[in-house]
A and B are shown apart, each in its own frame.
Chain A
Amino acid sequence: MNTVAVSEEETHDEHQDHGLSDVGYIKIALLLAVLTAVEVATYFWDFGVLEVPSLLILMVVKFQIVVSYFMHLKFDSKVFTYIFVTGVILAMVVFAAMGTSMVFWQNPSGCDLSAYC
Protein backbone atom coordinates (compact mmCIF):
# COMPACT_ATOMS: atom_id res chain seq x y z
CA MET A 1 0.00 0.00 0.00
CA ASN A 2 2.48 2.60 -0.97
CA THR A 3 2.88 4.15 -4.36
CA VAL A 4 0.37 4.79 -7.05
CA ALA A 5 -0.10 1.16 -7.87
CA VAL A 6 -3.18 1.46 -9.97
CA SER A 7 -3.46 -2.19 -10.71
CA GLU A 8 -6.40 -4.46 -10.61
CA GLU A 9 -6.63 -7.82 -9.04
CA GLU A 10 -7.84 -9.37 -12.24
CA THR A 11 -5.71 -9.49 -15.32
CA HIS A 12 -7.19 -10.15 -18.66
CA ASP A 13 -4.65 -11.48 -21.02
CA GLU A 14 -6.92 -14.44 -21.69
CA HIS A 15 -9.47 -11.98 -22.88
CA GLN A 16 -7.95 -11.77 -26.31
CA ASP A 17 -8.30 -15.49 -26.86
CA HIS A 18 -11.68 -15.57 -28.46
CA GLY A 19 -12.88 -19.10 -28.51
CA LEU A 20 -12.93 -21.40 -31.45
CA SER A 21 -13.25 -21.20 -35.18
CA ASP A 22 -16.58 -21.84 -36.82
CA VAL A 23 -15.50 -25.34 -37.64
CA GLY A 24 -14.58 -25.82 -34.03
CA TYR A 25 -18.06 -24.82 -32.98
CA ILE A 26 -19.61 -27.17 -35.48
CA LYS A 27 -17.53 -29.98 -34.05
CA ILE A 28 -18.70 -29.08 -30.58
CA ALA A 29 -22.28 -29.13 -31.80
CA LEU A 30 -21.76 -32.54 -33.32
CA LEU A 31 -20.40 -33.80 -30.05
CA LEU A 32 -23.45 -32.40 -28.28
CA ALA A 33 -25.68 -34.08 -30.80
CA VAL A 34 -24.01 -37.40 -30.16
CA LEU A 35 -24.32 -37.01 -26.42
CA THR A 36 -27.99 -36.20 -26.82
CA ALA A 37 -28.44 -39.28 -28.93
CA VAL A 38 -26.91 -41.37 -26.18
CA GLU A 39 -29.25 -39.75 -23.68
CA VAL A 40 -32.25 -40.53 -25.80
CA ALA A 41 -31.02 -44.07 -26.25
CA THR A 42 -31.62 -44.69 -22.56
CA TYR A 43 -35.28 -44.35 -23.34
CA PHE A 44 -35.26 -47.09 -25.92
CA TRP A 45 -32.88 -49.51 -24.30
CA ASP A 46 -32.65 -50.55 -20.72
CA PHE A 47 -29.43 -49.40 -19.09
CA GLY A 48 -30.34 -50.87 -15.72
CA VAL A 49 -28.74 -49.27 -12.70
CA LEU A 50 -26.48 -47.27 -14.94
CA GLU A 51 -29.31 -45.30 -16.42
CA VAL A 52 -29.73 -42.52 -13.89
CA PRO A 53 -26.03 -41.91 -13.22
CA SER A 54 -25.19 -41.95 -16.90
CA LEU A 55 -27.97 -39.50 -17.70
CA LEU A 56 -26.75 -37.19 -14.96
CA ILE A 57 -23.18 -37.39 -16.17
CA LEU A 58 -24.22 -36.72 -19.74
CA MET A 59 -26.27 -33.78 -18.60
CA VAL A 60 -23.37 -32.29 -16.69
CA VAL A 61 -21.01 -32.82 -19.61
CA LYS A 62 -23.38 -31.12 -22.05
CA PHE A 63 -23.94 -28.28 -19.64
CA GLN A 64 -20.22 -27.86 -19.21
CA ILE A 65 -19.56 -27.90 -22.95
CA VAL A 66 -22.16 -25.29 -23.77
CA VAL A 67 -21.02 -23.04 -20.97
CA SER A 68 -17.34 -23.34 -21.72
CA TYR A 69 -17.42 -23.07 -25.48
CA PHE A 70 -20.64 -21.54 -26.70
CA MET A 71 -20.72 -19.13 -23.81
CA HIS A 72 -16.95 -18.64 -23.92
CA LEU A 73 -16.59 -19.04 -20.23
CA LYS A 74 -13.44 -21.02 -20.77
CA PHE A 75 -11.83 -18.14 -22.61
CA ASP A 76 -13.45 -15.21 -20.90
CA SER A 77 -12.70 -13.32 -17.73
CA LYS A 78 -12.73 -15.25 -14.50
CA VAL A 79 -15.12 -12.68 -13.06
CA PHE A 80 -17.90 -14.18 -15.15
CA THR A 81 -17.03 -17.65 -14.00
CA TYR A 82 -17.15 -16.57 -10.37
CA ILE A 83 -20.55 -14.95 -10.68
CA PHE A 84 -22.13 -17.71 -12.68
CA VAL A 85 -20.60 -20.67 -10.89
CA THR A 86 -21.66 -19.16 -7.57
CA GLY A 87 -25.21 -19.18 -8.84
CA VAL A 88 -25.00 -22.72 -10.17
CA ILE A 89 -23.41 -24.14 -7.05
CA LEU A 90 -25.67 -22.27 -4.67
CA ALA A 91 -28.69 -23.51 -6.55
CA MET A 92 -27.44 -27.08 -6.52
CA VAL A 93 -26.43 -27.20 -2.88
CA VAL A 94 -29.38 -25.32 -1.47
CA PHE A 95 -32.03 -27.17 -3.42
CA ALA A 96 -30.35 -30.50 -2.86
CA ALA A 97 -30.50 -29.82 0.85
CA MET A 98 -34.12 -28.79 0.58
CA GLY A 99 -35.02 -31.81 -1.49
CA THR A 100 -33.29 -34.34 0.69
CA SER A 101 -34.75 -32.79 3.78
CA MET A 102 -38.22 -33.05 2.31
CA VAL A 103 -37.81 -36.59 1.11
CA PHE A 104 -35.31 -38.47 3.23
CA TRP A 105 -34.80 -36.76 6.53
CA GLN A 106 -38.30 -37.16 7.76
CA ASN A 107 -39.19 -37.87 11.27
CA PRO A 108 -38.61 -41.63 11.55
CA SER A 109 -41.98 -42.08 13.12
CA GLY A 110 -43.68 -39.72 10.74
CA CYS A 111 -45.44 -40.89 7.66
CA ASP A 112 -43.89 -41.56 4.32
CA LEU A 113 -44.11 -38.42 2.29
CA SER A 114 -45.24 -39.92 -0.95
CA ALA A 115 -48.43 -41.12 0.64
CA TYR A 116 -51.17 -38.89 1.87
CA CYS A 117 -51.89 -39.61 5.46
Chain B
Amino acid sequence: MSETTHDSDAQIAYGRTEWDDYHHLPTNTGLTNEKVTMWAFLGSDCLLFGALISTYLLLRNRVGPSTTGPTAADLFDIPFTSVSSFVLLMSSLTMVLAVTSIQRAEMERCKLWLLTTAGLGSIFIAGQVYEFTSFYREGLGFTTNISSSAFFTLTGFHGVHVSLGIVMLVTMWALVSGGQLGPERAETIEIIGLYWHFVDIVWIVIFAVVYLIP
Protein backbone atom coordinates (compact mmCIF):
# COMPACT_ATOMS: atom_id res chain seq x y z
CA MET B 1 0.00 0.00 0.00
CA SER B 2 1.45 3.26 -1.03
CA GLU B 3 1.24 5.16 2.20
CA THR B 4 3.00 8.17 0.79
CA THR B 5 0.24 9.06 -1.57
CA HIS B 6 -2.49 8.59 0.88
CA ASP B 7 -3.19 12.12 1.86
CA SER B 8 -3.14 13.66 -1.56
CA ASP B 9 -6.71 14.28 -2.53
CA ALA B 10 -5.68 15.12 -6.04
CA GLN B 11 -5.66 11.42 -6.51
CA ILE B 12 -8.88 9.74 -7.21
CA ALA B 13 -9.22 6.13 -6.38
CA TYR B 14 -9.40 4.13 -9.56
CA GLY B 15 -12.89 3.32 -10.58
CA ARG B 16 -14.99 5.45 -8.26
CA THR B 17 -18.48 5.34 -9.60
CA GLU B 18 -21.73 6.82 -8.53
CA TRP B 19 -22.51 3.44 -7.09
CA ASP B 20 -20.17 3.39 -4.21
CA ASP B 21 -22.02 0.46 -2.91
CA TYR B 22 -22.64 -2.98 -4.26
CA HIS B 23 -26.11 -3.05 -2.90
CA HIS B 24 -27.55 -1.36 -5.88
CA LEU B 25 -25.70 -3.15 -8.57
CA PRO B 26 -27.99 -5.01 -10.92
CA THR B 27 -26.81 -8.23 -12.44
CA ASN B 28 -25.37 -7.71 -15.89
CA THR B 29 -27.92 -9.88 -17.58
CA GLY B 30 -30.78 -8.52 -15.54
CA LEU B 31 -31.46 -12.09 -14.52
CA THR B 32 -31.24 -13.41 -11.03
CA ASN B 33 -28.39 -15.65 -10.09
CA GLU B 34 -30.73 -18.41 -8.98
CA LYS B 35 -32.51 -18.64 -12.24
CA VAL B 36 -29.32 -18.71 -14.27
CA THR B 37 -28.12 -21.40 -11.91
CA MET B 38 -31.15 -23.54 -12.51
CA TRP B 39 -30.93 -23.25 -16.26
CA ALA B 40 -27.23 -24.06 -16.19
CA PHE B 41 -27.98 -27.09 -14.07
CA LEU B 42 -30.69 -28.20 -16.48
CA GLY B 43 -28.34 -27.76 -19.42
CA SER B 44 -25.91 -30.01 -17.60
CA ASP B 45 -28.61 -32.54 -16.77
CA CYS B 46 -29.40 -32.86 -20.48
CA LEU B 47 -26.09 -34.62 -20.89
CA LEU B 48 -26.73 -36.81 -17.90
CA PHE B 49 -29.97 -38.09 -19.32
CA GLY B 50 -28.53 -38.08 -22.82
CA ALA B 51 -25.89 -40.51 -21.63
CA LEU B 52 -28.35 -42.66 -19.69
CA ILE B 53 -30.86 -42.85 -22.52
CA SER B 54 -28.27 -43.67 -25.13
CA THR B 55 -26.79 -46.29 -22.84
CA TYR B 56 -30.18 -47.92 -22.57
CA LEU B 57 -30.80 -47.74 -26.31
CA LEU B 58 -27.43 -49.30 -27.04
CA LEU B 59 -27.81 -52.07 -24.51
CA ARG B 60 -31.48 -52.95 -24.58
CA ASN B 61 -31.26 -55.82 -27.04
CA ARG B 62 -27.80 -57.09 -26.38
CA VAL B 63 -27.39 -60.68 -25.39
CA GLY B 64 -24.40 -62.79 -24.51
CA PRO B 65 -23.83 -66.44 -23.78
CA SER B 66 -25.09 -66.14 -20.21
CA THR B 67 -28.07 -63.94 -20.90
CA THR B 68 -31.31 -65.18 -19.41
CA GLY B 69 -34.68 -63.65 -18.79
CA PRO B 70 -36.79 -61.29 -20.83
CA THR B 71 -35.71 -57.85 -21.92
CA ALA B 72 -37.30 -54.90 -20.23
CA ALA B 73 -39.17 -54.07 -23.41
CA ASP B 74 -40.79 -57.51 -23.42
CA LEU B 75 -42.59 -56.63 -20.23
CA PHE B 76 -43.71 -53.10 -20.97
CA ASP B 77 -47.30 -52.43 -20.13
CA ILE B 78 -47.92 -49.56 -22.51
CA PRO B 79 -51.47 -48.69 -21.46
CA PHE B 80 -50.36 -48.49 -17.83
CA THR B 81 -47.29 -46.40 -18.58
CA SER B 82 -49.36 -44.18 -20.85
CA VAL B 83 -51.56 -43.33 -17.93
CA SER B 84 -48.70 -42.49 -15.63
CA SER B 85 -47.00 -40.49 -18.38
CA PHE B 86 -50.20 -38.60 -18.78
CA VAL B 87 -50.32 -37.93 -15.06
CA LEU B 88 -46.81 -36.54 -15.10
CA LEU B 89 -47.62 -34.40 -18.12
CA MET B 90 -50.61 -32.92 -16.39
CA SER B 91 -48.55 -32.18 -13.32
CA SER B 92 -46.68 -29.74 -15.50
CA LEU B 93 -49.92 -27.88 -16.00
CA THR B 94 -50.66 -27.73 -12.29
CA MET B 95 -47.09 -26.60 -11.71
CA VAL B 96 -47.47 -23.73 -14.11
CA LEU B 97 -50.75 -22.79 -12.45
CA ALA B 98 -48.99 -22.72 -9.09
CA VAL B 99 -46.49 -20.29 -10.54
CA THR B 100 -49.09 -17.99 -12.07
CA SER B 101 -51.11 -17.97 -8.90
CA ILE B 102 -48.22 -16.95 -6.69
CA GLN B 103 -47.34 -14.30 -9.22
CA ARG B 104 -50.84 -12.96 -8.75
CA ALA B 105 -50.40 -13.30 -4.99
CA GLU B 106 -53.15 -15.90 -4.75
CA MET B 107 -51.51 -17.85 -2.02
CA GLU B 108 -54.31 -20.29 -1.32
CA ARG B 109 -54.48 -21.35 -4.92
CA CYS B 110 -50.77 -21.55 -5.10
CA LYS B 111 -50.76 -23.94 -2.15
CA LEU B 112 -53.45 -26.02 -3.75
CA TRP B 113 -51.61 -26.32 -7.05
CA LEU B 114 -48.33 -27.05 -5.34
CA LEU B 115 -49.90 -29.91 -3.47
CA THR B 116 -51.69 -31.15 -6.55
CA THR B 117 -48.44 -31.17 -8.44
CA ALA B 118 -46.68 -33.04 -5.70
CA GLY B 119 -49.59 -35.44 -5.58
CA LEU B 120 -49.53 -36.11 -9.30
CA GLY B 121 -45.80 -36.62 -9.05
CA SER B 122 -46.35 -39.12 -6.28
CA ILE B 123 -48.87 -40.99 -8.38
CA PHE B 124 -46.26 -41.21 -11.08
CA ILE B 125 -43.71 -42.53 -8.62
CA ALA B 126 -46.22 -45.00 -7.27
CA GLY B 127 -46.79 -46.17 -10.82
CA GLN B 128 -43.09 -46.62 -11.24
CA VAL B 129 -42.81 -48.60 -8.04
CA TYR B 130 -45.65 -50.78 -9.25
CA GLU B 131 -43.96 -51.23 -12.61
CA PHE B 132 -40.66 -52.17 -11.01
CA THR B 133 -42.22 -54.69 -8.66
CA SER B 134 -44.26 -56.29 -11.39
CA PHE B 135 -41.15 -56.58 -13.54
CA TYR B 136 -39.40 -58.15 -10.63
CA ARG B 137 -42.22 -60.62 -10.14
CA GLU B 138 -42.02 -61.53 -13.78
CA GLY B 139 -38.37 -62.40 -13.34
CA LEU B 140 -36.64 -59.21 -14.34
CA GLY B 141 -34.50 -57.93 -11.50
CA PHE B 142 -31.83 -55.26 -11.66
CA THR B 143 -29.11 -57.84 -12.16
CA THR B 144 -31.01 -60.24 -14.40
CA ASN B 145 -29.54 -59.12 -17.68
CA ILE B 146 -28.04 -56.17 -19.42
CA SER B 147 -31.29 -54.68 -20.61
CA SER B 148 -32.74 -54.76 -17.12
CA SER B 149 -29.69 -53.07 -15.61
CA ALA B 150 -29.91 -50.33 -18.19
CA PHE B 151 -33.66 -49.95 -17.88
CA PHE B 152 -33.76 -49.74 -14.11
CA THR B 153 -30.83 -47.35 -14.02
CA LEU B 154 -32.39 -45.00 -16.55
CA THR B 155 -35.90 -44.94 -15.15
CA GLY B 156 -34.56 -45.10 -11.61
CA PHE B 157 -32.56 -41.93 -12.15
CA HIS B 158 -35.59 -40.25 -13.56
CA GLY B 159 -37.56 -41.42 -10.58
CA VAL B 160 -34.99 -39.97 -8.21
CA HIS B 161 -35.29 -36.66 -10.02
CA VAL B 162 -39.06 -36.73 -9.66
CA SER B 163 -38.82 -37.63 -6.00
CA LEU B 164 -36.44 -34.75 -5.33
CA GLY B 165 -38.92 -32.51 -7.09
CA ILE B 166 -41.70 -33.75 -4.83
CA VAL B 167 -39.62 -32.99 -1.78
CA MET B 168 -39.00 -29.49 -3.05
CA LEU B 169 -42.66 -28.95 -3.84
CA VAL B 170 -43.77 -30.08 -0.43
CA THR B 171 -41.15 -27.85 1.16
CA MET B 172 -42.45 -24.94 -0.86
CA TRP B 173 -45.97 -25.76 0.19
CA ALA B 174 -44.89 -25.73 3.80
CA LEU B 175 -43.12 -22.44 3.41
CA VAL B 176 -46.07 -20.81 1.71
CA SER B 177 -48.40 -22.17 4.37
CA GLY B 178 -46.14 -20.87 7.08
CA GLY B 179 -46.11 -17.48 5.46
CA GLN B 180 -42.38 -17.55 4.95
CA LEU B 181 -42.66 -17.47 1.24
CA GLY B 182 -44.72 -14.72 -0.22
CA PRO B 183 -45.49 -13.37 -3.66
CA GLU B 184 -42.26 -11.39 -3.67
CA ARG B 185 -40.49 -14.68 -3.95
CA ALA B 186 -42.58 -16.07 -6.73
CA GLU B 187 -39.38 -16.69 -8.58
CA THR B 188 -38.38 -19.45 -6.19
CA ILE B 189 -41.52 -21.33 -7.14
CA GLU B 190 -40.86 -20.56 -10.79
CA ILE B 191 -37.36 -22.00 -10.54
CA ILE B 192 -38.60 -25.17 -8.92
CA GLY B 193 -41.18 -25.26 -11.67
CA LEU B 194 -38.39 -25.19 -14.25
CA TYR B 195 -36.88 -28.23 -12.62
CA TRP B 196 -40.23 -29.96 -12.56
CA HIS B 197 -40.95 -29.29 -16.21
CA PHE B 198 -37.49 -30.49 -17.12
CA VAL B 199 -38.13 -33.76 -15.39
CA ASP B 200 -41.34 -33.91 -17.38
CA ILE B 201 -39.67 -33.36 -20.74
CA VAL B 202 -37.11 -36.00 -19.92
CA TRP B 203 -40.02 -38.35 -19.45
CA ILE B 204 -41.52 -37.22 -22.74
CA VAL B 205 -38.33 -38.39 -24.38
CA ILE B 206 -38.12 -41.60 -22.38
CA PHE B 207 -41.74 -42.43 -23.03
CA ALA B 208 -41.29 -42.05 -26.77
CA VAL B 209 -37.89 -43.60 -27.38
CA VAL B 210 -37.83 -46.19 -24.63
CA TYR B 211 -41.43 -47.30 -24.40
CA LEU B 212 -43.16 -46.56 -27.66
CA ILE B 213 -40.54 -46.97 -30.33
CA PRO B 214 -40.20 -50.73 -30.73
Contact = CB atoms under 8 A, between A and B. Distances in A.
Interface of A: 8, 10, 12, 15, 18-19, 21-22, 25-26, 28-29, 32-33, 36, 39-40, 42-43, 51-52, 55-56, 58-59, 62-63, 66-67, 69-72, 77, 79-80, 83-84, 86-88, 90-92, 94-95, 98-99, 102-103, 113-114, 116
| Chain A interface main SS type | helix
A99 B58 contact: yes
A99 B57 contact: yes
Interface residues on B, range: 35 or more
A84 B54 contact: no
A76 B123 CA distance: 31
B198 interface: yes
Contacts of A98: 54
Interface centre among B28, B40, B43, B49 (most CB of A within 10 A): B43
A67 B97 contact: no
A45 to B, nearest CB: 12
Nearest to A67: B201
A39 B78 contact: no
Given A71-B197, A87-B43, A15 B212 contact: no
A91 B198 CA distance: 15
A114 B59 CA distance: 9
A58 B39 contact: no
Interface in B21-72: 28-31, 35-36, 39-40, 42-47, 49-51, 53-54, 57-58, 61-65
Contacts of B148: none
